Every structure is written in C-alpha cells, then in structure tokens.
Chains A and B, each alone.
Chain A
Amino acid sequence: MGLDRHPVERYISWIGNAVQGDLGVSPRSGASINEMIGRRLPNSALLAFIAFVVAVPTSLAAGIFAGIYPDSRLDRFLSIGSLLTISVPEFIIGVILMLVFSSKLGWLPSSTIMLPGETIMSKPEVLVLPILTITGALFAYILRMARANVMEVMESNYVRTAVLKGIPMRQVVMKHVLPNALIPTITVIANNVGWMFGGLIVVEFVFAYPGVGSLLIMAIDTRDMRLLQSTAMVIASVYAFSNLAADLAYGLLNPRIRYG
C-alpha cells in the first residue's frame, strides 16, 4: 500500500491510476474496487432511471393541474399530501411503505438482499418499494415547483389576453402557459439532482439495495478509506455530469440562453 510514502505522493499516484480507470484494491476485502463498483453501478442507474421516469411525468402533470385550478378540491388534497411527504425524510417514507406493503399486506419483499445467482432482473419485484419511496419524495417537490410556476404564468397579462381573445382554454394552456412555466420548473428540478443522489444513498441503505450508495455506507462502516474515496468520487462525478447535462438541456429549451 506504500504507507511509507508521503500522503500527497500516495494521493497523486492514486489519482493517476484513477483517471486511467484503475481504482485499486480494497484493503479490507482484497477485492478489486473497479469490479465492486462496476457490479453495483448499473443497479443504481436502473433504480434512479425508473424512479425518474415514473416520478417526473406524473408529478409534472399533477403540478400543472393544481396550478391551473388552484384551490380546487384536488389542489387542496395535493398540497396537503405534498407538504406531508416533503416533511418526512426518505427513510421514514421507506419504513412506512415497508410496514404497509411487506409486513402487513405481505405483497412485496422488504429488502433487496440477493441470493447468489440472482440479479435485479430476475427479481424485479424488489424494485417496487425503493422506486415508490424515491417517487414519493420527488413527487411533492416537483409538484410544488410546477404549481408555483404555472400559477405565476396564469396571472400574466399575455395569458389573460389569450383567454379574452376567446382562444379555447386547452390551447391557452398548451401553447401559452406550459412553454413558459415549464422552463424554470425543469431548471430547478435539474439543478437539484444532487438532492436525489443523497436520497438515493439513504433509500439504497433502507432496502439493502445492492447499489453504489449502500457500498458507500458499507465503506464508512468498515472504515475502508480507499473504497470510500473511490465510491465518493464516482457519485460526485456522476452528479457533476448530470448537472452539466441539465445546464446544456436548459440552453436547448430556452433559446434566449446561450453559452458562449
């Protein structure tokens, strides 16, 4: 391990190997860190991807509806519901879902522990509770943003003009309200992917999901510093790249913004 060398020297050699794609060997288990992360990264990506695909469209639709018809019965219901889910940490949502769906109803498995030879693909039912947990937390957040932005645009002069001109409501919403309300909503969502990454770590830990987040917690528990360093670097780089992608997407959505 070269513990006789200076820490800076060791760090430089580690980072030199890391950029060439070699994260070294975990001193605790003796296994290759590349292999450990490589096995778990697709699982995390799958969980994040499905959760995103489920949560974003549904919560955007609900938020837009609540913004167009504020103070309707559905809006009240959604507002109270979203206040509840935004106010409890992910692990409590997870534990409550676990209590209802696996302890009481017995429909779904409460943890994701895999027997040898099993993969996520061969047991897709283990994904349901983690996805529901992330969705529950994301839903409230996106809903509140979408609702606030749609309400703001609905009060603008150009929407009032469009309504008074006699354009059907459907068209006003599709052509005038949505393009203007969605851009700030999407930016704020994209800029907060980091929150989702943190949530992902907790959710993976709650359900013992074999992803990078639970590997990070395992590294902390076993004081495996090299594994911790590597997993943290992987999570932070994925995060940095998704932020970059969000910034570029913003430029595409809004032609007024150009990076030059």
Chain B
Amino acid sequence: MTSLQSIRNTSSSVLTSLTVKGISKLLAFFSIASKTTSGRIGLFIVLIHFLLAVFGSFITPYSPTAFGAENLQHRLEGPTFAHPFGTDHFGRDVLSRVIAGARSIVWISVIGTTLGIFLGTVVGITSGYLGGWIDQISMRFMDWLLSFPSLLLALLLITIGAERFDIDESWLIIMVIGIAFMPNNSRVIRSASLTVKPLEFVQNARLRGEPLYYIVFREILPNVLPVIGVEATLRLSFALLLTASLGFLGLGVQPPTPDWGLMVSDGREFLSMAPWVALSPALAMGSLVIGVNLLADGIRQALQLPEVRSE
C-alpha cells in the first residue's frame, strides 16, 4: 500500500467517523426537541419547511418564474382548483412561487446563523478563556458592532458590499447575517465559558500542559454546547425575520427568483383586489418562524434553561 493510499484511507475513515458522530448528534437533538409538546410541533413544522427547501423545486405544479403572453392572460386570478393560492400580477401561480421561495430564505438563514454561531463561538470561548487584553479588545470590538441596530448594520453592510464587491447577493446576505449576529452570540458564549473555566477539569488540563486548542475545543466547547444549541435556534428565528425584512425592503434575493419578503412587498399594490398575492407568502413566513420558535421553546424547556430573549 502506498503512503498516498494510506492517507486517503485514514482521511476517509476519519470522515466516516465524523459523519456518524454528526448523525448521532442530530438524533440526540431530535430526541431532546421531541421531549415536549411544543418541541414536537415545532420540529414537525420546521421539517416540512426544510423538505420544501430541499425538494421544493421538484414538486411545484407550475414554473415559479414563468413569464409569457400565456401567463399574462391569467393575471390576479382568485384561488381556484388549478391555482389554490391564485395567481400574481404576472399570471404566475402563487403556490409554486411560495414553495420555490422556501429555498432561498431557509438556506440563507441557516448558513448565516451557522456562520454567526461559529464566529461567536470562536471569539466568545477564546476571549472568555484567555481573558486579559485579548478579551478586552475583542469585547470592545463587539460592543462597537452592537452600537448599531442589527437591521441598520445589515442594510449598511449590504449596500457597501454590493457597491464594492462583485459577489452573489445570497452570499452577501449570509455574511451580513453572520457579522450582525456575531457580537450577541460571542457575549452569550463568553459568559457561558467563563462559568466553565474555573472548574477542576479545565484547570487539570492546563496543569497537564495541554495546548490551547485542546482546552478550548475538547474541554470547554462540549460544556457550552447546550447554550450554543439554544442560542442557535433562537438566532435562526431572528435570521429568518431579518432575511424576510431585507427582501421586503428590496435588498434580498433579486427577481425573478421568488422571495417571500419581496412577494409581500409586490402584493401590497393589489391588496384590495387580490389579497392572496401578499397573504400566501406571509402565511408561509409566519408558519416557519412559529415552528422555529416552538422548537426553541421546546429545547429550552427540555434542557431546563431559563427564558432569555435578547436581540
């Protein structure tokens, strides 16, 4: 066996063990979430939305972005059997657009929240554990970011980012969500790791002379994971609201890609003749965030953590 092959073998076995670990973590998450009624309902709603986000493009009855003379004959038609949610001002099927719109908002919010949690965890744990001037400098920087309301920060970063960098707007929004959520996440995770830091096993590892990354990832991280989990579900609902608001203000995913926020914004014009155009995406949006909030409540109750709700 050549050395290259052996490296490949080890890396693939590491990968399998990581996947197995990931799946078991996910199953543990599901079992925690389904301990309470609200967690079960929330999990159910969230799973439906995730399935739509992944497979939605295969089950849309009509093309969500169709644009032609044939469509224009069916403008603003009310709910019928052929179009259960009616048609919009270009004659497109609203149901198809709502289903297809799940994809962008779910992915942007999930990846953006993950990025924010990742950045917040790195900053929070290291500055909580190291303390001293590193802690001072990074926390003052977070304070500076916090001195902007998060929507204002997002609006400014997106405007500057779109002007300066040639980058896909979904990735821009993802990065903006990550940056906007980093300060709050890092504060929460820092205070959690401050409570873990003086415990014996951490001091023990330090006396053994373990390197910094070992103490941070192997000793502190596993003990602040519940806090991170609750924080992540809470953040996800904020990320969904932020993404929808950006879409509504016209700074989200650009047309013709369906976006729930933009669909509500467009539907405002026809509110009295065709309320379904604005109400259908609003309903989808509301049900998704209700699901995420119920899930967050359920996990919190199951882990018996106090209710903390901060922006």
Contacts and interface: CB of A to CB of B under 8 A. Distances in A.
A92 B151 contact: no
B224 interface: no
Interface in A115-162: 141, 144-145, 148, 152
Given A95-B271, A144-B309, A89 B278 contact: no
Contact of B285 (A92, A99, A195, A243): A92
A62 interface: no
B42 to A, nearest CB: 10
Contacts of A194: 146, 148-150, 311
Given A87-B290, A217-B249, 9 more contacts: A89-B241, A89-B245, A95-B278, A104-B272, A195-B311, A198-B149, A198-B245, A228-B156, A239-B147
B293 A89 contact: no
B155 A216 contact: yes
A103 interface: yes
Contact of A87 (B155, B268, B286): B286
B152 interface: yes
Contacts of B278: 95, 99
B286 A103 contact: no
Contacts of A110: 271
Interface of B: 146-152, 155-156, 159, 163, 237, 241, 244-245, 248-251, 261, 264-265, 267-268, 271-272, 275, 278-279, 282, 285-286, 289-290, 292-294, 306-307, 309-311
B148 A236 contact: yes
15 contacts: A87-B290, A87-B292, A95-B264, A103-B275, A152-B306, A191-B310, A191-B311, A198-B149, A198-B152, A201-B152, A205-B248, A206-B268, A232-B156, A236-B152, A240-B147
Contacts of A92: 244, 264, 282, 285-286
B295 to A, nearest CB: 12
Contacts of A243: 147
Contact of B272 (A86, A103, A235): A103
A223 B292 CA distance: 35
- Specify the main secondary structure of chain B where it touches its partner: helix
A152 B285 CA distance: 32
Contacts of B275: 99, 103
A81 to B, nearest CB: 12
Interface residues of A, number: 45
Contacts of B289: 87-89
B268 A236 contact: no
Nearest to A86: B293
Given A88-B289, A99-B271, A205 B309 contact: no
In the A-B complex, the 7 residue pairs with the closest CB atoms: A198-B151, A103-B272, A194-B149, A87-B289, A197-B149, A87-B290, A148-B307
Nearest to A148: B307
Interface in A209-224: 216-217, 220-221, 223
Contact of B237 (A87, A104, A217): A87
Interface in A84-123: 84, 86-92, 95-96, 98-99, 103-104, 110
Contact of B250 (A90, A145, A221): A221
B271 A201 contact: no
A92 B281 CA distance: 9
Nearest to B159: A220
Nearest to A239: B149
Interface of A: 83-84, 86-92, 95-96, 98-99, 103-104, 110, 141, 144-145, 148, 152, 188, 191-192, 194-195, 197-199, 201-202, 205-206, 216-217, 220-221, 223, 228, 232, 235-236, 239-240, 243
Nearest to B287: A87
A91 B152 contact: no
Nearest to A216: B155
Contacts of A228: 156, 159
A103 B309 contact: no
Contacts of A88: 282, 285-286, 289
B309 A95 contact: no
Contacts of A104: 272
B142 to A, nearest CB: 14
Given A83-B294, A88-B289, A239 B272 contact: no
B149 A89 contact: no
Contacts of B290: 83-84, 87
Nearest to B265: A91
Contacts of B311: 191-192, 194-195
Contacts of B155: 201, 216-217, 220, 232
A202 B245 contact: yes
B286 A84 contact: yes
A232 B309 contact: no
Contacts of B309: 141, 144-145, 188
A172 to B, nearest CB: 23
A104 B248 CA distance: 23
A150 to B, nearest CB: 12
